[in-house]
Structure formats: C-alpha cells, structure tokens
Amino acid sequence: MTAKVLFTGKTHNTSGRDGGTRSSDGLLDLKLSQPHPAAENLFGAAWAACYMGALEHAAAQRKITLPTAPAVDAEIDLVLDSGSYFLRARLNVSLPGVDHEVAQTLVDAAHEICPYSKATHGNINVETNLL
C-alpha cells in the first residue's frame, strides 16, 4: 500500500520587527515580531486542532456520538535547562456530557491517531488532563 498525501501546509515566514507568517492559501496571515511566544502558541493551536479531530475520529470509530464538540486547551512551555532549550506540553481536554471512563478511552485513543501526538511521542514531556 502506498502512502497518500492528504494535505500539504505551506507557509512563508520572515523574522524581525515586521516579521510574520502567511500560508499559501491566505487563510493564515499573522504578524510575528518575536519568534516566541508566537511559535509555542502556533504549535499549541495546531496540535489542539489536530487533537480535536482525532477525538472525533476515535468517537466515530467506536460509534460514540459526542453530545457537544470537544475542546482542547494546549499549553506549550519553552524551557531552558542547563543551556539547552526544549518543549513541554499540557493538553487539557473537555468532553462535556461524556462518561468519564469513555472520555478517557477517547483521550487515550486520540494520542494514537493525532499526527502531532505521534510526532512528539518520546520527544517531549506531554501531560493530558481530562477536565
């Protein structure tokens, strides 16, 4: 079986006081005068969006109807330790109206589905909190 590219995101980024990022489709057009916290915020927003899709996919696979749309608050820390930079993350997941045990199953499954979770697995400390 051959892998099929579903989408390629393309951005052009510039640095400096007038720096920013713009996607090739024009849907993303932001001023980024500082490399951080913008980078951490963008990473968190992208990961949370992907993770919500993974939660919905996990629910559909299990034939679970979510009473409301999920919400994910992502917190991405840029950490400096002994002269080395690294990231740390917390995903705070809300699945209102879903039994806690079922919700936890979906949260766990989403980590196996979400490409961002896969990319960070074993690379950064990730804490997932079911709210």
Q: What is the 3-state secondary structure (H, E, C) of 86-122?
A: EEEEEEEEECCCCCHHHHHHHHHHHHHHCHHHHHHCC
Where does CATH 3.30.300.20 sit in the chain?
34-130
Contact assessment for residue 66 and residue 57, using Cβ atoms and an 8 Å cutoff: no
Q: Using one digit for the tens of pLDDT, what is the confidence trace for 91-117?
A: 999 999 999 999 999 999 999 999 999
CA distances from 27 to 9, 23, 66 (A): 11, 6, 28
For residue 45, count other CB atoms closer than 10 A to its CB: 14
* Residue 89 scores a pLDDT above 90: yes
Maximum CA extent, the chain: 49
Where does CATH 2.20.25.10 sit in the chain?
1-33
**pLDDT given for residue 109 in this prediction:** 98
The CATH topology of domain 1-33 is N-terminal domain of TfIIb (2.20.25)
Question: What does pTM read for this prediction?
Answer: 0.89
**pLDDT given for residue 99 in this prediction:** 97
What are the tokens at 17? 């006081």
Q: Using one digit for the tens of pLDDT, what is the confidence trace for 32-65?
A: 877 667 789 899 999 999 999 999 999 999 999 9
Q: What span, in angstroms and rounded, lies between the C-alpha atoms of 91 and 73?
A: 6
Assigned superfamily of 34-130: K homology (KH) domain (3.30.300.20)
- Cα distance from N-terminal residue to C-terminal residue, the chain: 39
**pLDDT given for residue 116 in this prediction:** 97
**pLDDT given for residue 32 in this prediction:** 81
Higher per-residue pLDDT: 1 or 95: 95
